Amino acid sequence: MKKDTVACPRCHFDNPSETNFCGKCGTKFGMTDGPSFSRTMTLLTPVPALQRGKIFAGRYEIIEELGRGGMGSVYRAEDKKVSEEIALKLINPEIARDRRIIERFSHELKVARQISHRNVCRMYDLGEAEKTHFITMEYVPGEDLKSLIKRIGRLPEDKALAIAKQAAEGLAEAHRLGIVHRDLKPGNIMVDREGNAKIMDFGIARSLKAKAVTAAGLIIGTPDYMSPEQAEAKEVDGRSDIYSLGVILYEMTTGQVPFEGETALSVAMKHKSEKPRDPRDLNPQISPAAGRLILKCLEKEKEKRFQTASEISAAIEALGEGAPAAERTGARRKPLTSKEFTVTFRLRKFILPGLAAVVLAVLGFVLWRIAFKTKPVERSVAVIHFQNQTGDAAFDYLRSAIPNLLITSLEQSKYLQVTTFERLGDLLRQMGKQDAKTIDGDFGFELCRQDNVEALVLGSYVKAGETFATDVKIFDVKTRKMIKSFTAQGEGAQSILDKQIAQLSREISRGVGLSKKAVDETKTLMAQTPAASIDAYKFYLAGHEKLEKMFFDEARKDLEKAIELDPQFALAYHDLSKLNLRSGNMPAFLETITKAREFSARAAEKDRLYIEADYAAHIDRDPEKRFRNLQEIAAKYPKEKEIHLTLTGYFMSKGMFAEAVVAAEKGLALDPEWPIMLNQLGFVYLEAGDVVKAEEILKKAIAVAPDEPNAMDSLGFLYYRTGRLDEAIEAYQRAIKVKPDFGGEELIGYIEAVKGNYGDALAWIDQFILMAPGNDNKGRGYWWKAI
């Protein structure tokens, strides 16, 4: 986005429009006289203006001017050598004329290039061409935070905290490498169309602080955001950036900076000596906890502030309002991802943590095992698909419903380790069989042996008049001999839920060899069923499957039907809450997650833990409690695929990419061709900067699930992010072809507009509008709704 400039009335220096003081002489705009830092330097040589289409330095084709400021002019350009867009910053001649400054720039940019984080704009090279020094860096489409605040006023608390949390995470990585920004301000934070934030200009402020420059009279640091130690010209560390971030957060939530003055010097002195006004005096809607957080950042003594940027991130997380992009309202349709709508131009190496992190991970695992002791398992059992022998396809749904209900029931016994038919289906696919429904006795025995399962349950059901009868046979896996056979029956399909599942569960427990005490101890729990209506359970299973495949509209219809048939169906409410969260409908989300928890007593332990985890994150605003619940599920149900998917998303949202990869690999060890997990792992590598690996994994996800659009859409985003626009359009179109109502028309339109094909862009936008008339939740073109 192009920035306007403001000419100083004293020295006529061009300044960015968001600046209150002249970056050359220190005059406050609107003044005709008064003190300033310095007026000794004049603009001797103008920065050369580059016209659209010009090839600069033999490789950079100018697309447009983005803005001008004290450093120089900034252009959006295409690097013809690698066919990627970059930002090109021409350095003002009065700065570049001193070789010591250029040498310092070169050194600082080498250091700044070490920062590889999703919330930091990458710095590339320092060069010289056509008698002009220049810096190349990552181009971030979007709007700087200062312009955003100026355009829409103060931000809602949760959105301000979300942006601040991202900035804190970027600072944390820079500070870990020993790099301090020194000039953090809203103008140096870009916010893209999905609300993702990136800090710019690392390394520049320190370079400008060289004695030669300050002696010449340039102001270093922006007075409105300057820490007290900067105002005193003392040496600074990461806590100075923390102070600046506090000022930014103050401005985002109140609409104004904490200190104002007639000159840059007067503002700097207020930062040194005056106590800021409580932000809640200016905006009573700020929560007390957020107000305290802001004021702690603004402590005069740096020892009293947050000591690290990670502490701020954790404090925001504790408030529950700074959730990562993937979990914020208005996020795009991918679950548990935090995609940035930016263009990345260089591959970033994915660096695993050192030995200390490995030791901590091992220690953490040991602690998990201590905190959540494994169940005193006596026997392991697998339940696989039941056969429909009614002769009526209308009852095919019971092929999944009966084993699912049995598994849920049997899992309540701490004496049984239950392997689901989905788990066996995953193993079956690994053996070259694509349809889990083809599991028969022979394959079942082979799969059970692979998974160290001792007993195998096979079953069928018949219908005579209104009577339903369910037959179960238990086999010893090692000998293949039948241990026990029995039948339960009742009037109508509803009897399966009302009494047959409880009977069958007890018989299976006895049949696999559990003691009478063990059976009696858990028979009450095993008798509980998650739904009151078998028809409601049918719709829930259908909706849950469609939700996993990201067929959201169809999933919503099935889940709402399940709730209509059973108004106290906790699992249906929980799945529906996930849909509401990702669509950005927070009132509906809060209602449905609250309902899920209200009725969770009827759910199985594992499902209750999932519900409690989401409730802790969004209602209790207790991220530590949420993580403890997730840890407990992982410890108690190690073969539960979903928990590894959830933990992958959790770690990725924290920027803990190594841990995210480990969690994803655990899930893929259970099912190497799990499309959702492959898609998620692809995003882990993309966020970590390993684009090659991300593309490889997303292509694998497409290969294993060619009838699902999610990975195609994800690959389209990767191509857009890396500047491969034609390939991005092709991938998005492929997703739409597979699932016409999946969405993506607006993104193709945006890319066509970026390419300058405005007619095609409008056609795609029109198609998007036709596909979603009046649907604000799909209106992702209005990007400010997402921040």
What residues are annotated to the active site? 183
Alpha-carbon span 72 to 208, nearest angstrom: 13
| Cα pseudo-dihedral 489, 490, 492, 496, rounded to 10 | -60
The 10 Å Cβ neighbour count of residue 266 is 15
Q: Of how many residues is the chain composed?
A: 787
Tokens of 323: 């959730």
Alpha-carbon span 331 to 337, nearest angstrom: 9
Sole residue written with tokens 């209790």: 620
- The phi, psi pair for 267, rounded to 5°, reads -70, -45
Alpha-carbon span 696 to 682, nearest angstrom: 8
| Cα pseudo-dihedral 139, 142, 147, 152, rounded to 10 | -170
- The phi, psi pair for 253, rounded to 5°, reads -90, -25
CA angle (677, 682, 683) in 5-degree steps: 100
Exposure of 364 in the CB half-sphere (CA atoms within 13 A): 12
Closest CA relative to residue 617, chosen from 323, 229, 220: 323
- Non-local (6+) Cβ contacts of 611 within 8 A are 570, 574, 593, 596, 597, 600, 603
Q: Taking the alpha carbons of 597, 600, 601, 606 in that order, is the dihedral positive or negative?
A: negative
The 10 Å Cβ neighbour count of residue 1 is 14
Burial 575-612 (b: 16+ CB within 10 A, else e): bbbbbbbbbbbeeebeebbebbbebbebbbbbbbbbbb
Which residue type sits at 561?
Answer: K
Helix axes 605-618, 586-598, angle to 10 degrees: 140
Tokens of 293: 């957080």
Tokens of 437: 């429904």
Alpha-carbon span 138 to 161, nearest angstrom: 25
Sole residue written with tokens 């959201």: 552
In what helix (H) or strand (E) does residue 86 lie, and over which residues does it extend? strand 84-91
Task: Tell which phi-psi region holds residue 53, choosing left (phi > 0), alpha (psi between -120 and 50) or beta.
Answer: left
CB distance 346 to 725 below 8 Å: no
Helix (H/G/I), strand (E/B), else coil: 425: helix
- The phi, psi pair for 419, rounded to 5°, reads -100, 125
